[in-house]
């Protein structure tokens, strides 16, 4: 099993909601936008959406929008005919054609060049397209599933992403919360990864405590990497904190409280949304009024400081939070 197809774990209410949304999205046959930090499993949810859909018997085609410059992106997506450009000696179907009857996964959609965003929007609207150098009009028949770790709403406001494409994609939106916001998934994920890496290994209670105490900024991908490294050091069937020696340091602070975890979630959501309170409230799963009340409790009044002052306050509060506990893993 490769990381492209890791175990699907949904022990937390947040992940139950993600799977519920994926199931609903699957039957709509509409474009889907999946957001979340790096390593949260966006491609895994995209594949699950494809497998649950009426297109599951069709092809699954994936494309990383950050991996190609604009002129190559167009030829990859739309294909080309002989003579379309230097070196085009034979026809090549594009990924839209190859994904006909199935799903086309556009990873890192936020990195797609603006010119290509306009062409993608036309395809999403059902407009026929041409191969480069071609004259035959091709009707699109691929379901688009897009993913990004960027905040597209902020990018659209800044002109870095087309707002019309953003609103078109967000009609079916699945957000995967980071692992630090769904603590119930950490140990089930760790056990599933261990079964994949070495079925004979198990975690000691102290190792489990160490895994639970860390924030996992790299999410499930970082967790898997840490367990691979630790499994190489383990000499017994039980993995202890000593096998995480390159990662684990002493931690003086006690376990996180629900209040402190909620505060960290809110502050992180505000940082990720560049201070957009409505979007931050949506990401955390609370109302904007509740978020405003929490900000008042944290000393960040709704009508108080400007955005720059707010970010300075956020930074100070984040530093105060971080100083209350030592990190359990080194960078």
Reference 264, options 328, 187, 178; nearest CA is 178
The whole-angstrom separation of Cα 194 and Cα 45 is 21
* pTM value surpassing 0.75: no
pLDDT of amino acid 3: 39
* Residue 295, pLDDT score: 83
Tell me the angle at which helices 219-233 and 186-197 cross, rounded to the nearest 10 degrees: 50
pLDDT at 273: 79
Closest-CA residue to 105 (of 71, 60, 66, 59) = 60
Let me know: does 98 contact 150? Beta carbons within 8 Å. no
Tokens 């936020």 belong to: 110
Q: What is the rounded CA–CA span in Å between residue 117 and residue 162? A: 7
Name which of 125, 96, 121 is nearest 109 in CA terms: 121
DSSP 255: P
Burial class for 79, CB neighbours closer than 10 Å (0-12, 13-18, 19+) = buried
Domains of the chain: 13-175 (3.40.50.300), 184-244 (1.10.8.60), 258-323 (no CATH)
Q: What is the pLDDT of residue 259?
A: 57
289-302 per-residue burial string, b: 16 or more CB within 10 A, e: under 16: eebbebbeeeebee
- Angstrom distance (rounded) from CA 241 to CA 227: 11
pLDDT of residue 165: 97
**Block mean pLDDT (10 aa), the chain, length 331:** 60 95 94 97 96 97 93 91 84 95 98 94 95 92 97 95 96 95 94 88 87 90 90 84 61 47 73 80 77 78 46 46 36 30
So what's the pLDDT on residue 237? 86
* pLDDT recorded at residue 260: 61
SS3 per residue for 155-202: HHHCCCCCHHHHHHHCCCEEECCCHHHCHHHHHHHHHHHHHHHCCCCE
Closest CA to 284 of 181, 166, 185, 186: 181
Q: Which residues, at least 6 apart from 19, have a Cβ–Cβ distance to it below 8 Å? A: 10, 45, 48
Parallel/antiparallel/unpaired status of strands 143-148 and 173-175:
unpaired
The rounded distance, in Å, linking the Cα atoms of 315 and 287 is 23
Strand partners, 238: 202
Per-residue pLDDT at 305: 40
Contacts of 103 (CB under 8 A, 6+ apart): 46, 49, 50, 53, 55, 58, 59, 60, 61, 142, 143, 144, 145
d(CA 123, CA 95): 12
pLDDT computed for residue 242 by the predictor: 76
Q: What is the pLDDT of residue 296?
A: 82
Q: What is the pLDDT of residue 78?
A: 94
Strands, E, within 166-292: which ranges?
Answer: 173-175, 202-203, 238-239
């Amino acid at each position: 099993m490769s990381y492209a197809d890791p175990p699907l774990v949904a022990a937390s209410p947040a992940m139950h909601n993600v799977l519920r949304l994926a199931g609903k999205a699957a039957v709509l046959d509409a474009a889907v936008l999946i957001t979340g930090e790096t390593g949260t499993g966006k491609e895994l949810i995209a594949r699950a959406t494809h497998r649950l859909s009426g297109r599951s018997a069709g092809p699954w085609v994936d494309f990383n929008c950050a991996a190609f410059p604009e002129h190559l992106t167009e030829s990859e997506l739309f294909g080309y005919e002989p003579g379309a450009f230097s070196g085009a000696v034979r026809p090549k179907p594009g990924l839209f054609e190859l994904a006909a009857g199935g799903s086309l996964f556009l990873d890192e959609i936020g990195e797609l060049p603006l010119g290509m965003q306009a062409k993608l929007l036309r395809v999403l609207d059902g407009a026929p397209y041409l191969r480069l150098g071609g004259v035959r009009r091709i009707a699109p028949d691929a379901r688009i599933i897009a993913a990004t770790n960027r905040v597209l709403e902020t990018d659209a406001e800044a002109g870095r992403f087309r707002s019309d494409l953003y609103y078109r994609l967000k009609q079916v939106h699945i957000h995967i919360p980071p692992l630090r916001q769904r603590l119930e998934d950490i140990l089930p994920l760790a056990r599933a990864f261990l079964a994949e890496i070495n079925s004979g290994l198990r975690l000691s209670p102290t190792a489990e405590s160490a895994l639970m105490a860390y924030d996992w900024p790299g999410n499930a991908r970082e967790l898997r990497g840490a367990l691979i490294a630790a499994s190489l050091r383990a000499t017994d069937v039980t993995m202890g904190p000593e096998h995480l020696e390159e990662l684990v340091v002493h931690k003086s602070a006690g376990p996180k409280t629900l209040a402190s975890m909620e505060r960290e979630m809110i502050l992180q959501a505000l940082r990720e949304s560049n201070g957009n309170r409505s979007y931050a409230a949506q990401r955390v799963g609370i109302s904007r009024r509740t978020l405003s009340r929490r900000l008042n409790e944290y000393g960040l009044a709704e009508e108080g400081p400007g955005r720059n002052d707010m970010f300075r306050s956020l930074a100070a509060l984040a530093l105060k939070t971080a100083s209350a506990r030592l990190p359990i893993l080194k960078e």
